[in-house]
Amino acid sequence: MHAVHNVVLPSVVRGTGPGLVLVHGAGATGDSTYGRLISGLAAGHGVVAPDYSKLTTGATVDIDALADWHVEAALRAGHERFAMAGHSLGSMIATRAAVRHPDRVTALVLTSAFARAPASTRLKLRVWRGLLDGGRGLLARYLMSLMLSDRYLDAMSEDQIDGFAELVALTTGAGSAEQIELALRLDVRADLARISVPTLVIATSDDHLVPAAVSGELIDHLSAAVSATLPCGHLPALECPQEWQRLIEDFLTAVNSDGAAQ
């Protein structure tokens, strides 16, 4: 076993059972993307949650390398075959990993996913990228407007909104600029027809960054895909963690049962 391109992703490893690799999105980490789901999913799976954020800082990000790094992280954790769950940009990385390593990846769960960022998403990503060079307070409030549903924001007081914005400003992920650039230029639509593993595509119905309708494109081009919807914004771990975990667990349980029966 060796490091891919001399890179080893730092990873949270929890639990035992069928392997499950969690791939975070842009400007995030495995912990911030999946939150309490890591410990919950680890009750029935060998969870590997890599963090690629710091390794992308100041570097041109290559999706093939990112895909390979995540596969290597699973192998280092002792999983020869495993499912992958990707969120937002992480869904593109997981998709590419399934194409590059079809003997390793057994199933996919793609949440808030896109094969190519639609025009509205690209516009918002460019604003996000521009705000990274300025004051963090304005960036934090912009990100909150993108990532959280209206229902979630409306339930917060002004003091709570201000406090949340301060937290976001302090925790903006390393490597965000490079990851946003990757999301802007990537197009993995050609990969979809090459994926035959069972796939769950989860749309986030109140998502202001990635429209829920974009999930339909994935469903139309994946040969073994099923769909589900979560009633939340772009961050289901924050707004509906239990529902998200249940969808992932139920899908993977069905996939593993089908595999055992064959």
Residue 1 predicted with pLDDT over 60: no
Is position 66 within any domain? Answer: yes
Residue 3 predicted with pLDDT over 70: no
Is position 160 within any domain? Answer: no
Is position 51 within any domain? Answer: yes
Residues 147 and 228: their CA atoms lie apart, in Å, by 19
Tell me how crowded residue 142 is: count the other CB atoms within 10 A of its CB: 17
Residue 215 predicted with pLDDT over 80: yes
Crossing angle of helices 158-170/136-147, nearest 10°? Answer: 110
**Per-residue confidence (pLDDT) for residue 261, from 0 to 100:** 46
Pairing of strands 19-23, 82-87: parallel
Inter-residue contact 101 to 193 (CB < 8 Å)? no
In terms of residue numbers, what domain contains 52? 11-119+174-261
Is position 209 within any domain? Answer: yes
pLDDT digits (tens, 9 = 90+) for 130-185: 998 877 889 999 999 999 999 999 999 999 999 999 988 887 766 788 899 999 99
Residue 22 tokens, joined: 């969690």
pLDDT digits (tens, 9 = 90+) for 52-61: 887 755 556 7
What CATH number has the domain bearing residue 257?
A: 3.40.50.1820
Tell which phi-psi region holds residue 17, choosing left (phi > 0), alpha (psi between -120 and 50) or beta. Answer: left
For the entire predicted model, the pTM comes to 0.93
pLDDT digits (tens, 9 = 90+) for 187-196: 999 999 999 9
Is position 242 within any domain? Answer: yes
**What is the arithmetic mean of pLDDT over 2-20?**
81
Is position 135 within any domain? Answer: no
Is position 164 within any domain? Answer: no
pLDDT digits (tens, 9 = 90+) for 31-40: 889 988 999 9
DSSP secondary structure of 60-124: ---HHHHHHHHHHHHHHTT-SSEEEEEETHHHHHHHHHHHH-TTTEEEEEEES--SS--HHHHHH
Is position 154 within any domain? Answer: no
Based on the structure, what is the number of domains in the chain? 1
pLDDT digits (tens, 9 = 90+) for 60-115: 678 999 999 999 999 999 999 999 999 999 999 999 999 999 999 999 999 999 99
**Per-residue confidence (pLDDT) for residue 27, from 0 to 100:** 86
